[in-house]
Amino acid sequence: MTTIHDIIFDENYSHATHRFLLLDDHSTNRIGPLPVIPLSNALLMTFIHVFRNLIQCQRYISDDNRKMITLFISNRNIIDWNNRFDENDNNIDNIHLFCDTYFDYIKMKRWDGCYRRKIQGIHLPDEVDYTLLKLGVDYIHSILPGFREDRGLCRKFCADARQLIGALDKYFQDQMDNLDDSCCASKS
């Protein structure tokens, strides 16, 4: 099973003015067993710069304040982030939260922290793989105009987007097959 820990960042994406970061620090704000979120497409998610330490991620954003950031962060980390970071940091363009449990999901839907206005989505654990694929395609499309002159990187990013779209296509085909199986089972 592949997880967040299997994502390997491709340094070619560090040339983009917009960055996609994922923070999953298990050492903060956690009671109980650590959740494992399966990402069957983790090896395709080379556009994501993964951080496993909240302070290192915040330092990266502060040091690289000329870049726009999409931050994908766990529900347990956003609370500590909210307590430690300056809301006036304008280079965080939008935030997506992923939750460990359905209870956390409901709690985060009601959460009213200072970053609330930047939160674009709150996702359940079984939605994370699909969500990252979709956001990845959108992210790559958003950075492509900056690489029209660099044909090599443009082709590479387009190839990455094609792989993500292929994985999305497989995801939706599996959803259709599951629906067909459910419908056939209910007719029996």
Kindly indicate the confidence band of residue 40, based on its pLDDT and cuts at 50, 70 and 90: very high
CA distance 88 to 57: 16
Largest CA distance in the chain: 61
In this structure, how many other beta carbons lie within 10 angstroms of the beta carbon of residue 76? 24
C-alpha 109, offset from chain centre: 18
Residue 83 has pLDDT above 90, yes or no: no
Contact between 118 and 29 under an 8 Å Cβ cutoff? The reply is no
Lowest mean pLDDT among 53-57, 86-90, 147-151, 182-186: 86-90
**pLDDT value of position 44:** 97
Query: Alpha-carbon Rg of the chain, whole angstroms?
Result: 18
Residue 32 has pLDDT above 80, yes or no: no
Contacts by residues 177-181 (CB-CB < 8 Å, ≥ 24 positions apart): none
Contact between 49 and 22 under an 8 Å Cβ cutoff? The reply is yes
Task: Compute the average pLDDT of residues 38-51.
Answer: 96
pTM (predicted TM-score): 0.88
pLDDT digits (tens, 9 = 90+) for 99-114: 988 999 999 999 887 7
Lowest mean pLDDT among 1-10, 70-79, 83-92: 83-92
Residue 65 has pLDDT above 80, yes or no: no
Token readout for 12 is: 């070619």
120 closest CA partner among 87, 80, 93: 93
Q: Residue holding tokens 């067909």?
A: 180
pLDDT digits (tens, 9 = 90+) for 114-138: 788 889 999 999 999 999 999 999 9
**To the nearest whole number, what is the mean pLDDT of the chain?**
88
Q: What are the residue boundaries of the structural domains of the chain, listed by start?
A: 4-187
